[in-house]
Structure 1
Amino acid sequence: MKTKYIWLLAVLMGFTACDSDDDSSTTPAPVYPALVTGEADFSNYIAVGASFSAGFTDNALFIAAQENSFPNILSKKFDLLGGGSFNQPLMNDNIGGFVMGATVVANPRLYFNGTGPVLLPATPTTQITDHLSGSFNNYGIPGLKSFHMGVPGYGTANPYFGRMASSPGATVLGDAVGQNPTFFTLSEIGGNDVLSYATSGGTGVDQTGNTNPATYGGNDITDPNVFAASFSAAVDALTANGAKGVVANVPYITSLSHFTTVPYNPIPMDAGTAAVVNGAYAPYNGGIAQAFAYLVGIGAVTQADADAEIAKRTISFTASATNAVVILDEDLTDLTGINPSLVSMRQATATDLIVLPASSFIGTEAIPGNPMSINGVAVPLGDKWVLTPEEQQAIKTATDAYNATIAAVAASKNLAMVDFKGILIQAATVGYPSGNYILTTDLVRGGLVSLDGVHLTARGYSVMANEMMRAIDVAYGSNFEASGNFLDPGNYPTNYPPTLQ
């Protein structure tokens, strides 16, 4: 009964978004005005951010991806207006990942094998303990949370910063400001403050109200006041010498294909199997009804609330290709004190988000060789596989608070700002037009999001660069767009071949 829906048609429809090029056009080439700087000084550009700034894609960082990072793309445009060199802490190869000695400690990148994303069959060559010399312009640090920017010695915890830090005790912000930027981008700060909570299925803690990040776990949501202090401190430091810049707000990460690819109802079942499974769940369904009858009797819940939760928790399969998986839900009423067998489980609904790694877990046997121990059917999916509506709301609430801070700080400093949240919402719903493409967040075929379901493709990073330039034009009077200097997304790949190593 193991399900085999893992990638389905979503990965068989090609790599790129819809291309509407018309090679037969005879329209004369447009005449553009000369490119002008406006009020900005691009002579020393520094990027500060997390994995998007680094160019992370296909679940890894590697040379080709770094060369297609949006800061590196921007730097080439800034070169046209007196921009200086743009140095990045390049990895050793196009494999991605890290090794410690001969041991792989971070996996290589993903590639598309014609069926779905798989690990590149190659061994990384970048030693996790290597340290690069020289000064850098790109402080895009995968995994960076807002409060990490000012942590001394953060490089000992994060090898992406450790390999480029100016000293063992350096801070990300200190090193970036130490380059004395005349222009900066501050992007995706706040994304990682909710991302690990989301990708772990909400297994962390929403730390709203706790302003001591030293007590946070790795998968926790950052308190909005902690974020506000960290973000404000970063902008103050970056603008202290008069530098101008552009910031980007935080998207609703639950719109990304990591959370939207796996359906909530992927279980096929024939009538005979459904009858057997329903028979196995009959005692549970009856026990739920009895437990709530008891709670109503003692006045602990109303009859209406009891009826609603009984309906929510009743498990039923049919002869169908689209049965919902069974999940654990910690927000259900705890009935184990009445009956220890009445664990808090229910079938998923369309409001639940199943994380991408669950695609290879649902339908497997919890007990090898026992076909009656199917994960997602007889054995409910644990918390790490599902984002419930309550967990999604916690992410949205924190993101909205972060974005309110970003907007207020940007306005107070007269900085350019990109509404990345709005762009991703549009891409996830009707598609986002850029050049001759309509980009979406669909895995593999949407063109915007890479094979890991979270980070962007090179084409997606080119869109970010265009949106940065558009915001710079509005804020500082440059004319990247009017002068014809926007990027053609078609010049940037949506995937990298396995031969690239």
Structure 2
Amino acid sequence: MNLKYIALLFIASGFTACNDLEDVNREEAEVILPELNSGTADFSTYVSLGNSLTAGFTDNALFIASQENSMPNILASKFALAGGGEFKQPLMNDNYGGLAYGGNRITEPRLVFNGSGPAALESVIGPVTVSTDLALNNPTGPFNNMGVPGAKSYHLLYDGFGNPSGLLTDPMTANPYFVRMASSNSATVLGDAMAQSPTFFSLWIGNNDVLGYALSGGDGSNPITPLDGAIGVGFTQTYGAIIATLTSQGAKGVVANIPDVTSIPHFTTVPYNPVPLDATTAAYLNSTSAYGAYNAGIVQAFAYLVGNGLITQEAADTEIAKRTITFEASETNAVVIMDESLTDLTGLNPALISMRQATADDLLVLSASTFIGTEAVPGNPQTVNGVAIPLADKWVLTPEEQEEIATATTSFNAIIDNIRQQAGLALVNTNEILNQLASGGITSGDYTLTSNLVVGGAFSLDGVHLTSRGYAFLANEFMKAIDETYDSNFVDSGQLVDIGNYPTNYSPTLQ
């Protein structure tokens, strides 16, 4: 079989700006703006808590430039004009990204644009030394930006999250980014934040409570956080405890809810039907030597079920249609996937496992783009992944898995809104914002941001995290929410940032 995989190609022209500027004629007029005031908020000690989106993670890494353009750091620069104090971040040692521990690399450098799509930094500029080493050069706190990449809601309360020994014994219990920040091995994210006696805080947590499940294709290795349970287990109790603690000393704040993660480019870029086949290869795959025998077995299995009164003919026809696998001479053949939601037929015939071809309702993870079309057995074209061998659960979000994510997101957001209303906190509806990005885009100044990978301007090369321009846009949304709740006037005094001053990509040579 002479199979090949259609690589993801991106338009390189205009990538640096991402959005073409239109000529706009404006009549300049002198406008006298009011002085900035903080309203009822006190920004003297601002602390931000959250995950990678708070830290400034972009292009699948954290690095100095991305941290300097993080959403909280942009906010802090405006808060400083209204009485805000110093805002300290746990800056990385370089602009390569990646982490090391005792000289051994534990996370990789950032992604870059190589002219056609996302690529590993070292594939473009050659080998680099990751100089941010947890055993050698951790910065000294306290830190105002307490965003910890990878953190779920309950991680903010976990007292082993910053213990370096956990990185060696059980990486699931310790986080390398918090190891760099923690005041002690037994410190908690929330405890280190409260030790600074914040007068104002921002909290954006909960994304990973559903995103982890989505990124793993819903395969069960990273489950959605339970809605209810003890503090540190259930989302409801944990989020309530976090807010109660943050406001216990009178601090005011702004929270953001959880976006629909299935709308981000990590799940919308790779098509369900990316397999090009010629007539000869398609005919082979449809023959009894390949899927022809499988299809015949499916028909026989359901005939047995119908004949024994175990299923109706109508239901059998529906199941057979779902499972039948066929190919044609085309550039757009659907991949073959595993789907555990299908009726399990292994009791009848072990060969009739739960597989089918993907449809437009399935979402393939971005990393599948480099896996589909590879050979499970190198040199054997009859072992092509996604064609001869079905994609495992981790590569695909089925409609049933998407529904689980949607249900959890809706429930979590209802909890967030209820708790923040009781506490009198401002809300940024990032769920609504990201849906707008996915459904046509949002215009800010001279730029329109969309959720398209590479050229949309909002999402970085990993398809999950925002660009610096995206973070700048969100900083404006945070200021608008603060104005609405605390009677400050960031908007009316002209303090919103021009998102065009923030990059959508970073040069591979940035050091």
TM-score after normalising by structure 2: 0.93
Residues paired across the two proteins, number: 487
Is the deviation greater in 105-114 or in 367-376?
367-376
Select 2:271's aligned residue among 258, 263, 272. 263
1:197 is aligned to 2:204: no
On the 8 A contact 1:104/1:123 being kept in 2, the answer is: no
Secondary structure of 2:359's counterpart equals: coil
- The alpha carbon displacement at 1:24 in A equals 4.9
On the 8 A contact 1:54/1:138 being kept in 2, the answer is: yes
Secondary structure of 2:421's counterpart equals: helix
Q: Aligned partners of 1:21, 1:197: CA distance in 2, in Å?
A: 41
Instruction: In structure 2, give the amino acid aligned to 1:164.
Output: M
Aligned to 2:131: 125
Q: Aligned partners of 2:357, 2:146: CA distance in 1, in Å?
A: 44
On the 8 A contact 2:323/2:357 being kept in 1, the answer is: yes
Residues 125-169 of structure 1: per-residue CA shift (max 9 Å, x gap): 011234322311010000110111111121120111111111111
Instruction: In structure 2, give the amino acid aligned to 1:232.
Output: G
Instruction: In structure 2, give the amino acid aligned to 1:329.
Output: D
- The alpha carbon displacement at 1:23 in A equals 6.0
- The alpha carbon displacement at 1:264 in A equals 0.2
Aligned to 1:170: 187
Instruction: In structure 1, give the amino acid aligned to 2:475.
Output: A
Select 2:148's aligned residue among 126, 141, 148. 141
Aligned to 1:393: 403
Q: Aligned partners of 1:248, 1:19: CA distance in 2, in Å?
A: 30
- The alpha carbon displacement at 1:359 in A equals 0.4
1:180 is aligned to 2:186: no
Instruction: In structure 2, give the amino acid aligned to 1:475.
Output: T
Kindly report which structure 2 residues correspond to 1:458-497, keeping only aligned pairs within 5 A, or say none: 458-497=468-507
Residues 341-391 of structure 1: per-residue CA shift (max 9 Å, x gap): 111110000000010011011111111111122111111111111111111
- The alpha carbon displacement at 1:16 in A equals 4.0
Q: Unmatched 5+ residue regions in structure 1?
A: 205-216
Q: Aligned partners of 1:479, 1:51: CA distance in 2, in Å?
A: 28
Residues 16-60 of structure 1: per-residue CA shift (max 9 Å, x gap): 443445365343253322211111001110000000110000000
Aligned to 1:211: none
Q: Aligned partners of 1:32, 1:13: CA distance in 2, in Å?
A: 35
Return closer, same or farther for 1:140/1:392 CA change in 2, 3 Å cut-off.
Answer: same
| Percentage of identical aligned residues | 59
Q: Which runs of 4+ in 1 moved over 4 A?
A: 10-13
- The alpha carbon displacement at 1:77 in A equals 0.2
Secondary structure of 2:34's counterpart equals: coil
Aligned to 1:329: 339
Q: Aligned partners of 1:316, 1:179: CA distance in 2, in Å?
A: 62
On the 8 A contact 2:90/2:141 being kept in 1, the answer is: no
Residues 72-98 of structure 1: per-residue CA shift (max 9 Å, x gap): 000000010010000011111111111
On the 8 A contact 2:202/2:255 being kept in 1, the answer is: yes
Select 1:320's aligned residue among 322, 330, 339. 330
On the 8 A contact 1:16/1:446 being kept in 2, the answer is: no
Secondary structure of 1:84's counterpart equals: coil
Secondary structure of 2:368's counterpart equals: helix
On the 8 A contact 1:74/1:465 being kept in 2, the answer is: yes
Q: Aligned partners of 1:175, 1:43: CA distance in 2, in Å?
A: 17
Q: Aligned partners of 1:148, 1:385: CA distance in 2, in Å?
A: 26
Q: Aligned partners of 2:213, 2:306: CA distance in 1, in Å?
A: 35
Secondary structure of 2:382's counterpart equals: coil
Kindly report which structure 2 residues correspond to 1:344-383, keeping only aligned pairs within 5 A, or say none: 344-383=354-393
Is the deviation greater in 4-13 or in 124-133?
4-13
TM-score after normalising by structure 1: 0.95
1:158 is aligned to 2:175: yes
